[in-house]
Amino acid sequence: MLSSVQEKAMCNLCHGGKVVYHRVYSGEMLCRKCFVETFEKRVAKTIGRYGLLKRDDRIAVAVSGGKDSLSLLHVLKKIEKNFPQATLFAVTVDEGIPGYRDEALQYVEEVVQRLGVPLVKTSFEEAFGVPLNKIIESPSFKASGLAACSVCGPLRRRALNIAAKNAKATVIATAHTLDDIVQTYLLKAFRGELGSSDVGLRSEGPVIPRVAPFRLTPEREVVFYAYVVGLPFQTQVCPNASNTMRSPIRKFLTEFEEKHPGSLFAALKSFEKTSRTTEKNLNICVKCGEPTSRRTCRVCELLEMVTDTYHA
């Protein structure tokens, strides 16, 4: 929110535009045009600085229909224009959450049409033969004691990988923001896994690399970007959402950043010093043939645990 004094102020960068955004951690007061320009420039810089994308990549952008992923598609479409050898398409996964996902898909369709980006659709039904709503109704899911998100997350990542691979993608871009990345590092710290690998950076190996071009962009700015460029997006919360290990960490970090602006950037810097992206020697899952660090991958393990009908 802008104060009445801020509302009358002029943009720090162009000195002409009316202020619409206050970038608290840097002190900048920006007009609409300068906000959009600096936002997009930072994404391009992030890609360059970390080597997230290559000139001739075939980029699969993971889109859910929320503000983050549709904003990412919007920015990458603009950046891609400077890289004629690169191609871009959107991938979306229909988990099988009636009502919720259908609404999200409408926003995805609307935005890909507006931007002229091809869309690849897949579903749990297609990838695993069973939609999420069937999984969570099953007696074995109920007996497993797992939260819906704990099953949905790994399955969604796998479905996305399969669809991206079939569409010959060389990289998957996800809309994880600075906030998400710092949360993930902190979660890793609490699990004793910090230092093993970087989050959202490109690492080559048997799995299509996943990169996060919003690594240096706070969540708050992504919301504002979606709003100023006029993207429609889903605001409904997933009906299966439950408290996970991530929830208290998210709350803590958001409050901390509000009180001490710039903390998220500082935390990211610290985590980057302690982590190193290494190529892991992966096995092949004995059930599905996908790369895994164990004998049977987590996806196959989950599917066996929570479905009554699934046999790989």
Interface positions with Zn ion (CB under 5 A): 11, 13-14, 17, 31, 34, 285, 287-288, 297, 300
State the amino acid at position 137 in one-letter form: E
Residue 144 or 254 with smaller CB distance to Zn ion: 144
60 and 168 Cβ atoms separated by less than 8 Å:
no
3-state secondary structure 62-131: ECCCCHHHHHHHHHHHHHHCCCCCCEEEEEEEECCCCCHHHHHHHHHHHHHHHHCCCEEEEEHHHHHCCC
Least Cβ distance, residue 21 to Zn ion (angstroms): 10
> What is the radius of gyration, based on Cα positions, of the chain?
20
Residue 228 or 288 with smaller CB distance to Zn ion: 288
What 8-state DSSP symbol labels residue 308? S
Residue 14 or 143 with smaller CB distance to Zn ion: 14
Residue 189 or 312 with smaller CB distance to Zn ion: 312
Least Cβ distance, residue 295 to Zn ion (angstroms): 9
Residues 6+ positions from 188 with CB-CB distance below 8 Å: 194, 196, 199
State the amino acid at position 17 in one-letter form: G
Residue with tokens 């164990």: 294
Joined tokens for residue 55: 């000139």
d(CA 39, CA 229): 12
Least Cβ distance, residue 103 to Zn ion (angstroms): 31
Least Cβ distance, residue 298 to Zn ion (angstroms): 8
191 and 199 Cβ atoms separated by less than 8 Å:
no
Least Cβ distance, residue 310 to Zn ion (angstroms): 11
75 and 43 Cβ atoms separated by less than 8 Å:
yes
d(CA 175, CA 164): 16
Residue 86 or 130 with smaller CB distance to Zn ion: 130
Residue 2 or 14 with smaller CB distance to Zn ion: 14
Residue 162 or 173 with smaller CB distance to Zn ion: 162
